Amino acid sequence: MRRMFIALLVAGVALAFTISPAAAVSVTVTGAGPTRTIVGTLADGSAFSDLGGVVETTGGDAYCADINTLIAIGDTVDEVPWDELGGSTMTPAERNAIAAIVNYEFPQTGTGFELVGADDEKAAAVQAAIWHYADGFNLSPNPADNTANVLANYETILDRVETAAYPLLQPRVLEITPADASVEVGAVVAYTVASSLGAVDLDITGADRVDASGNPVANTPVADGAQFYLRRADAGTASVTATASAPARSALGFDTPGIQRLVSAQLTTEPLSTSAAATWSVAPPVSTQPTTTPASPEVTVSPGQVTSAPTATNAGSNQPTVGATQVSGGSLPRTGGSPFSMVWVGIAAIGAGVALLVTSTVRLRRH
């Protein structure tokens, strides 16, 4: 940063302090914000002393992230993917630490991470912390080198990084349950909203918004945990789309060979949406026909058949199931004769009796 600040002093440029998101493909250095001298040691143990603080660019406020390279007003630095910043000289954990610092520390406001002292003391401490993770820089704890506020702020920032105090990954939740429902015509469908993004706007198609009792209500935004209700008077489908937005933070990196790297915060409002659906159908008619159970058919047993207790019938059939001891088609041997056979036996017996009587009479006469 040395050439930049020498140029500022020579030209007598008036400095202006602004906070704006950086969103350009490349940025050009236009000036400097709050700065002061930073004293410490480099990664190789050698002493270091130079100005450090906010860098103003055409894309907003930034900080330096390459302590051994110079930068000056008018230099243009190109944006690179965040995970490529510094190449192999930075680890993902170091990039994450720098991203958190530029997103939540000075000059950001309203983030819940406050520092002490004047703006230049805050900016110097932030710059020292970024150099610590980008370049292995260590701020001198000697009160003669750095003010008490700079030292306190520097230690506070490092502690926040090490204890994961920054919300590096902000949860963004927007859900509607149930996602799909099937009901009868005229029924009310109840939906529940879960949102980490504040108020949720509803875009409803194909149904009316009502209260829990089915009375029409205005389609106003709903809050996290709230319920809303839809109803349709005829068969068909409906859909509802929920939309919400909240600030989203991300870091930007700028890296052009021969110029000191820059890092900045980007604060945007990104919408998030989700959808749900419902289907209303006509209820099927209820049958009024009595239900009867077919009587089991009687089995007629022919003479000579042997029967046992009736057995269960096959489900859905009117044909009886024949038991094991029942006769079907004369499958068992006959156990009796016909009536005609009995008549001939009787006639034969009478004839035999008559013959016997005649023989006896003849014998008596001979004697």
Same domain for 158 and 193, yes or no, is no
Same domain for 105 and 198, yes or no, is no
Same domain for 68 and 145, yes or no, is yes
Q: Quick one: pLDDT at residue 324? A: 35
* The last residue of a domain, from among 223, 256, 281: 281
Q: 352: burial class by Cβ within 10 Å (0-12, 13-18, 19+)?
A: exposed
Same domain for 46 and 112, yes or no, is yes
Domain assignment present for residue 252? The answer is no
Q: Is 327 or 130 the better-scoring residue by pLDDT? A: 130
Domain assignment present for residue 75? The answer is yes
Q: Which helix (H) or strand (E) holds 60?
A: strand 60-64
Phi, psi angle pair for 307, to nearest 5°: -120, 160
Q: Quick one: pLDDT at residue 168? A: 63
Q: Which helix (H) or strand (E) holds 134?
A: helix 119-135
- When divided into structural domains, the chain yields a total of 2
Confidence of residue 287 (pLDDT cuts 50, 70, 90): low
Nearest to 33 by CA among 11, 12, 18, 13: 18
Is the pLDDT at 171 greater than 90? The verdict is: no
The residue segments making up the domain with residue 217 are: 174-247+273-281
Q: pLDDT tens digits, residue range 11-46? A: 322 222 223 333 448 999 999 999 999 999 999 999
Domain assignment present for residue 314? The answer is no
Confidence of residue 169 (pLDDT cuts 50, 70, 90): low
Is the pLDDT at 126 greater than 60? The verdict is: yes
Portion of the chain with pLDDT greater than 90, in percent: 62
Give the alpha-carbon dihedral of 343, 348, 353, 355, to 10 degrees: 150
Q: pLDDT tens digits, residue range 261-283? A: 999 998 777 788 999 999 999 98
Q: What is the mean pLDDT of residues 320-332?
A: 36
Same domain for 76 and 220, yes or no, is no
* The last residue of a domain, from among 281, 307, 332: 281
Residues 40 and 50 sit within 8 Å (Cβ to Cβ): no
Residues 96 and 63 sit within 8 Å (Cβ to Cβ): no
Q: Quick one: pLDDT at residue 230? A: 98
Same domain for 107 and 138, yes or no, is yes
In whole angstroms, give the CA distance from residue 250 to residue 266.
Answer: 5
Q: What is the mean pLDDT of residues 43-71?
A: 95
Same domain for 146 and 225, yes or no, is no
Same domain for 86 and 201, yes or no, is no
Same domain for 8 and 123, yes or no, is yes
Residues 57 and 28 sit within 8 Å (Cβ to Cβ): yes
Most confident of 80-89, 223-232, 330-339: 223-232
Same domain for 102 and 198, yes or no, is no
Same domain for 42 and 86, yes or no, is yes
Residues 200 and 272 sit within 8 Å (Cβ to Cβ): no
Phi, psi angle pair for 82, to nearest 5°: -60, -40
Domain assignment present for residue 26? The answer is yes
Average pLDDT score, the chain: 79
Tokens at 355, concatenated: 């013959």
